[in-house]
């Protein structure tokens, strides 16, 4: 049988993931022209954008943070990484980051 702490954690994660994958607003609503992985790799190799790994290092995410739904899209002529972060406490946040410099892209949710 599952202990109470683990059960509470699982319930919290279900609610957090539900919040993460509900209808997006702000910058997430602007997503368009999302690129396939092969195109992303070409852009990284040609140094037109930063790799997603480098972006996450720049952000300095805390230990225990989980990333979901990474996409690279072109928005108003800029490449933007969109993804969701769930921190170690279960708090979910939608993130949009400029793929050229790692800076926050306007309208994050």
17 part of a folded domain: yes
Structural domain includes residue 41:
yes
The answer to the question of residue 109 being in a domain is no
pLDDT at 33: 86
Dihedral of alpha carbons 52, 57, 63, 65, sign: negative
Each residue's pLDDT, cut to its tens digit, for the chain (109 residues) gives: 445 555 554 444 444 444 444 434 445 445 568 999 899 999 999 999 999 999 988 888 888 889 989 999 999 889 999 999 998 888 898 999 999 999 988 744 4
Domain count, the chain: 1
75 within some domain: yes
The answer to whether position 108 is within a domain reads no
In a domain, 84, yes or no: yes
Contacts of 70 (CB under 8 A, 6+ apart): 52, 81, 82, 83
- Give this prediction's pTM: 0.68
Owning domain of residue 25: 4-98
pLDDT at 23: 38
Whether 64 is covered by a domain: the verdict is: yes
């Amino acid at each position: 049988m599952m202990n109470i702490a683990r059960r509470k954690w699982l319930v919290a994660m279900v609610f957090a993931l539900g919040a993460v994958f509900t209808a997006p607003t702000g910058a997430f609503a602007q997503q368009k022209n999302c690129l396939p992985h092969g195109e992303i790799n070409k852009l990284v190799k040609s140094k037109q954008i930063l790799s997603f790994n480098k972006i996450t290092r720049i952000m300095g995410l805390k230990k225990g943070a989980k990333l979901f739904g990474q996409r690279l899209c072109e928005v108003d002529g800029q490449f933007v990484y969109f993804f969701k972060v769930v921190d170690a406490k279960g708090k979910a946040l939608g993130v949009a980051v400029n793929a050229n410099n790692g800076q926050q892209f306007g309208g994050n949710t």
